[in-house]
């Protein structure tokens, strides 16, 4: 496609120079640019295709260099970024130095928060609305140049508990406040629950397909009183019926308008202009199509929510350019993922044990639960974006004698920690957590890094924290957890492909024993011992092989971050062997910290322990390999740490000094 308009948009002020007809042409260019780039690098496709016209209309009416725009989740921000001067960054989408896949304030002042979790937009918007009001900077009839506040949230996110809390408080505002509900009938997968069913009924009702009666008395009963009546009269006869009668949001004190067509730019502009002047909280219910504009994305919005790179093959012999229909798409495969391996292991557990049950929180494909939901619909559930509820539901199932598994991204586990503490661990319930996307996550960047699950869960008494190095050890993790009844247990694994190196070299993983590491490479009189937690063991094996001519490097698959193998620590430290701990997790509170604490409990000298892991700074988007190299837990980084540890040990021995305290140092 030849871009005529998009290159001329250096900011929203350029957008406002275009006619409404030109905005339609710009929408087509934005849609093509996004789809073309995601086909090369991967990224969030369907969510962004669905909000192109909606985003254009918002920027056409509001001035978000001055006004406030808050995104929920943020995976629908690509059109917003292209309209705010970042077209030149699109070519390195989700890569180092390129455009982040989520809103990022370091990129642009148009991005107010780094956002990657659901349910936050309304609450942060309420905070900014109150802050502007306190400063006397909010928009009103007396101050037409003041700041307006808009939050954009999806229909699936609105059911999140935090979103409900935000709505409850938003209804108390006495100023302009707009919630744009992007209703596409989808989350990442099909939304779940009673609220989702309510939206389904609204979409199918006569309100949307053919306007119902336009009753003037309706406005008198809506929040805003006379202002609502004034809005009713200004909207025009054809649009009056979209003031929703007995709307769900009215119960929170918010006037509800819609649903309206989220791909009709003139209508959107009209309604945004009215909403801009409305001095009460309002919900604008917008109906969109996820994946809009490309048949393959519309037809499979779940698969194309955040696909890897893909190839588009046209069904004829014409030039191979992205087309909206009449084509087939193949996702580029790179190997068997840990998610797929977990899915099969979970299926094995469900087959063997009728007491096993499972759930996910709106991530059936992302966590590998899809096949479980299909095969065992009475024993598996998708709760929607409700991690706290899911954790408590699993606690309730445990109380009734079942063995509940909760498949959740590490980064989203944080949202359910209170429930893991109060309703699971405190009660002694054996809920099993399966933590996908643990550690560095690649292109999703800082908002999704799984850097604190060990730190959170390790404080819980009787918790057992496991990590596999490959598929056979993941199966053994699941089998161990299925029989662990002393308390909460969790297994963490990365967003990466399964390596066959360990299984080819050492054979299938043996069963897990609580608090026992598995030796992989051992020597008499070792120069150094590497205790690797999780898949870092693969990199440690490679590093040991590279250094075999220089150092006798032992490698252990630590297996447990809690409890750690205290007998192994005592043996290594008593022999004077330097120890390196490695983890794809934050150093504070992580596996290495657990090792130091174990040494402290035993009165062991921990001065020759070196910890490798994620430092106390944010790791930005890029490939996972780049991120592992950056934090020094790839093979080269481990080799450097081995040399440093051995040199430090030899220097200490030559000076015949001993450490008087207990501590550990991490390499710079």
- Average pLDDT taken over every residue of the chain: 88
Q: Which residues pair with 260 in a beta bridge?
A: 286
Q: Residue 462 pLDDT more than 90?
A: yes
* Segment 63-79 mean pLDDT: 95
Count Cβ atoms below 10 Å from residue 545 Cβ, excluding itself: 15
Strands 518-521 and 528-532: unpaired
Comparing 164-173, 247-256, 380-389, 449-458, the range with the smallest average pLDDT is 247-256
**587-609: b (≥16 Cβ within 10 Å) or e:** bebbbbbbbbbbbeeeebbbbbb
Q: Would you place residue 209 in the very low, low, confident or very high pLDDT band (cuts 50, 70, 90)?
A: very low
Task: Using DSSP, state whether 409 is helix, strand or coil.
Answer: strand
Distance CA 152, CA 54 (A): 10
Q: Residue 211 pLDDT more than 90?
A: no
Confidence at residue 329, expressed as pLDDT on a 0 to 100 scale: 67
Distance CA 507, CA 529 (A): 21
Over the stretch 603-656, which tens digit does the pLDDT of each residue have?
999 999 999 999 999 999 999 999 999 999 999 999 999 999 999 888 877 654
pTM: 0.85
Q: Residue 666 pLDDT more than 60?
A: no
Q: How far is CA 264 from the centre of its chain?
A: 30
Report CA torsion sign: 343, 349, 352, 353.
negative
- By C-alpha distance, which of 354, 484, 361 is closest to 428? 484
Confidence at residue 55, expressed as pLDDT on a 0 to 100 scale: 97
- Token readout for 334 is 């790179």
Residues of CATH 3.40.50.970 domain(s) within the chain? 46-75+102-287, 338-492
Fill in the DSSP letter of residue 255. Answer: E
Q: Residue 220 pLDDT more than 90?
A: no
**Phi and psi for 359 in degrees, rounded to 5?**
-150, 165
**Phi and psi for 534 in degrees, rounded to 5?**
80, -150
Residue 454 · residue 465 · CB < 8 Å: yes
Q: Would you place residue 488 in the very low, low, confident or very high pLDDT band (cuts 50, 70, 90)?
A: very high
- Token readout for 490 is 């969790």
Comparing 237-246, 315-324, 426-435, 606-615, the range with the smallest average pLDDT is 237-246
Residues 6+ apart with CB under 8 A from 494: 338, 437, 438, 439, 440, 441, 534, 535, 584, 624
Confidence at residue 246, expressed as pLDDT on a 0 to 100 scale: 52
* Segment 214-236 mean pLDDT: 44
Q: Would you place residue 325 in the very low, low, confident or very high pLDDT band (cuts 50, 70, 90)?
A: low
Residue 17 class from Cβ within 10 Å (0-12 exposed, 13-18 middle, 19+ buried)? exposed
Residue 489 · residue 475 · CB < 8 Å: no
Q: Residue 42 pLDDT more than 70?
A: yes
The active-site residue out of 147, 415, 518, 559 is: 415
What CATH number labels 338-492?
A: 3.40.50.970
**Phi and psi for 586 in degrees, rounded to 5?**
-60, 145
User: 270 vs 25, 63, 231, CA distance in Å?
Assistant: 19, 16, 12
Look-up of token digits 């991005």 = 111
CATH architecture of 519-654: 3-Layer(aba) Sandwich (3.40)
* Segment 108-129 mean pLDDT: 95
Count Cβ atoms below 10 Å from residue 556 Cβ, excluding itself: 23
Q: How far is CA 390 from the centre of its chain?
A: 16
Q: Residue 302 pLDDT more than 90?
A: no
Q: How far is CA 608 from the centre of its chain?
A: 37
The active-site residue out of 29, 53, 104, 387 is: 387
Q: Residue 200 pLDDT more than 60?
A: no
The active-site residue out of 94, 175, 290, 611 is: 290
User: 604 vs 522, 574, 609, CA distance in Å?
Assistant: 22, 8, 11
Q: Residue 217 pLDDT more than 90?
A: no
Over the stretch 521-570, which tens digit does the pLDDT of each residue have?
999 999 999 999 999 999 999 999 999 999 999 999 999 999 999 999 99
Comparing 237-241, 272-276, 495-499, the range with the smallest average pLDDT is 237-241
CA dihedral 94, 99, 102, 108 (to 10 degrees): 160
What CATH number labels 46-75+102-287?
A: 3.40.50.970
Distance CA 309, CA 311 (A): 7
Residues of CATH 3.40.50.920 domain(s) within the chain? 519-654
Confidence at residue 655, expressed as pLDDT on a 0 to 100 scale: 58
SS3 assignment for 441-498: CHHHHHHHCECCHHHHHCCCCCCEEECCCCHHHHHHHHHHHHHCCCCCEEEECCCCEC
- By C-alpha distance, which of 642, 606, 651, 613 is closest to 530? 642
Return the percentage of the chain with pLDDT > 70, whole number.
Answer: 85
Q: Clarify whether 92 is annotated catalytic.
A: no
Confidence at residue 316, expressed as pLDDT on a 0 to 100 scale: 56
The per-residue DSSP string of 41-64 comes to: H----HHHHTTHHHHHHHHHHS-T
Distance CA 175, CA 430 (A): 48
Residue 28 or 299, more confident = 28
SS3 assignment for 257-270: EEEEECCCHHHHHH
Q: Residue 262 pLDDT more than 50?
A: yes
Q: Clarify whether 415 is annotated catalytic.
A: yes
Q: Would you place residue 203 in the very low, low, confident or very high pLDDT band (cuts 50, 70, 90)?
A: very low
Q: Residue 196 pLDDT more than 70?
A: no
Look-up of token digits 């899809």 = 370
Distance CA 659, CA 379 (A): 55
Q: Residue 223 pLDDT more than 60?
A: no
Containing 436, the helix (H) or strand (E) segment is strand 432-436
- By C-alpha distance, which of 608, 516, 596, 503 is closest to 556? 516
In which region does residue 632 sit, left (phi positive, over 0), alpha (psi from -120 to 50) or beta (all else)?
left
* Segment 17-43 mean pLDDT: 94
- By C-alpha distance, which of 412, 475, 467, 480 is closest to 585? 467
Q: Would you place residue 306 in the very low, low, confident or very high pLDDT band (cuts 50, 70, 90)?
A: confident
Strands 518-521 and 380-382: unpaired
Distance CA 239, CA 271 (A): 9
Residue 256 · residue 250 · CB < 8 Å: yes
Look-up of token digits 């402290």 = 600
Task: Using DSSP, state whether 593 is helix, strand or coil.
Answer: helix
Residue 168 · residue 281 · CB < 8 Å: no
Distance CA 616, CA 483 (A): 36
Q: Would you place residue 307 in the very low, low, confident or very high pLDDT band (cuts 50, 70, 90)?
A: confident
- By C-alpha distance, which of 453, 431, 433, 451 is closest to 441? 451
Q: Clarify whether 290 is annotated catalytic.
A: yes
Count Cβ atoms below 10 Å from residue 505 Cβ, excluding itself: 11
């Amino acid at each position: 496609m030849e871009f005529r308009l998009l290159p001329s948009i250096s900011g929203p002020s350029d957008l406002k120079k275009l006619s409404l007809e030109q905005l339609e042409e710009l929408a087509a260019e934005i849609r093509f640019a996004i789809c073309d780039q995601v086909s090369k690098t991967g990224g969030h496709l369907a969510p962004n295709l669905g909000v192109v016209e909606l985003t254009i209309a918002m920027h056409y009416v509001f001035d978000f260099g001055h006004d406030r725009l808050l995104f929920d989740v943020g995976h629908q921000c690509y059109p917003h970024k292209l309209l705010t001067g970042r077209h030149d960054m699109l070519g390195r989408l989700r890569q180092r130095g390129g455009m982040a896949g989520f809103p990022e304030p370091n990129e642009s002042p148009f991005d107010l928060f780094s956002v990657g979790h659901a349910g936050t937009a309304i609450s942060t918007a309420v905070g900014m609305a109150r802050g502007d009001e306190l400063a006397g900077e909010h928009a009103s009839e007396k101050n037409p140049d003041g700041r307006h506040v808009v939050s954009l949230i999806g229909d699936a996110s609105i059911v999140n508990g935090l979103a409900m809390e935000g709505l409850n408080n938003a209804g108390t505002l006495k100023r302009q406040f707009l919630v744009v509900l992007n209703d596409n009938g989808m989350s990442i997968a099909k939304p779940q629950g009673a609220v989702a069913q309510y939206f389904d009924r609204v979409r199918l009702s006569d309100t949307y397909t053919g306007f119902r009666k336009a009753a003037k008395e309706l406005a008198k009963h809506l929040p805003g009183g006379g202002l609502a009546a004034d809005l009713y009269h200004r909207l025009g006869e054809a649009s009056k019926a979209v003031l929703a009668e007995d709307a769900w949001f009215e119960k929170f004190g918010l006037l509800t308008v819609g649903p309206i067509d989220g791909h009709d730019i003139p209508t959107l502009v009209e309604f945004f202009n009215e909403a801009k002047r409305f001095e009460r909280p309002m919900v604008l219910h917008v109906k969109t199509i996820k994946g809009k504009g490309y048949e393959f994305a519309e037809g499979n919005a779940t698969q194309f929510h955040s696909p890897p790179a893909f190839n588009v093959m046209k069904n004829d012999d014409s030039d191979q350019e992205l087309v909206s229909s009449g084509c087939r798409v193949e996702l580029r495969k790179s190997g068997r993922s840990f998610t797929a391996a977990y899915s099969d292991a979970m299926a094995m557990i469900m087959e063997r044990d009728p007491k096993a049950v499972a759930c996910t929180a709106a991530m059936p494909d992302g966590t590998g639960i899809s096949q479980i939901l299909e095969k065992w619909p009475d024993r598996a559930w998708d709760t929607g974006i409700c991690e706290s509820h899911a954790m408590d539901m699993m606690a309730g199932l445990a109380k009734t004698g079942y063995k509940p598994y909760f498949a959740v991204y590490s980064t989203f586990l944080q949202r359910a920690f209170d429930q893991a503490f109060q309703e699971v661990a405190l009660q002694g319930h054996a809920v099993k957590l399966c933590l996908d996307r643990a550690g560095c996550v690649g292109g999703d960047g800082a908002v999704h890094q799984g850097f604190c699950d060990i730190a959170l869960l390790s404080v819980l008494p009787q918790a057992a924290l496991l990590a596999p190095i490959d598929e056979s050890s993941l199966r053994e993790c699941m089998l161990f957890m299925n029989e662990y009844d002393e308390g909460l247990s969790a297994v963490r694994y990365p967003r990466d492909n399964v390596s066959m190196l360990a299984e080819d070299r050492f054979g299938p993983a043996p069963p897990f024993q609580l608090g026992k590491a598995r030796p992989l490479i051992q020597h008499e009189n070792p120069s150094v011992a590497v205790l690797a937690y999780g898949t870092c063991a693969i990199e440690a094996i490679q590093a040991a092989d590279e250094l075999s001519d220089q150092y006798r490097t032992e490698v252990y698959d630590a297996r447990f971050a809690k409890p750690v193998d205290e007998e192994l620590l005592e043996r290594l430290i008593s022999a004077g062997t330097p120890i390196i701990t490695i983890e794809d997790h934050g150093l504070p509170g992580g596996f290495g910290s657990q090792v130091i604490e174990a040494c402290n409990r035993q009165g062991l000298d921990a001065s020759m322990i070196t910890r490798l892991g994620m430092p106390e700074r944010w790791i930005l988007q890029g490939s996972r390999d780049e991120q592992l190299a950056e934090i020094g837990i790839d093979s080269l980084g481990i080799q450097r740490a081995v040399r440093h540890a051995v040199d430090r040990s030899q220097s200490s021995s030559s000076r015949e000094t001993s450490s008087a305290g207990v501590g550990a140092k991490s390499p710079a």
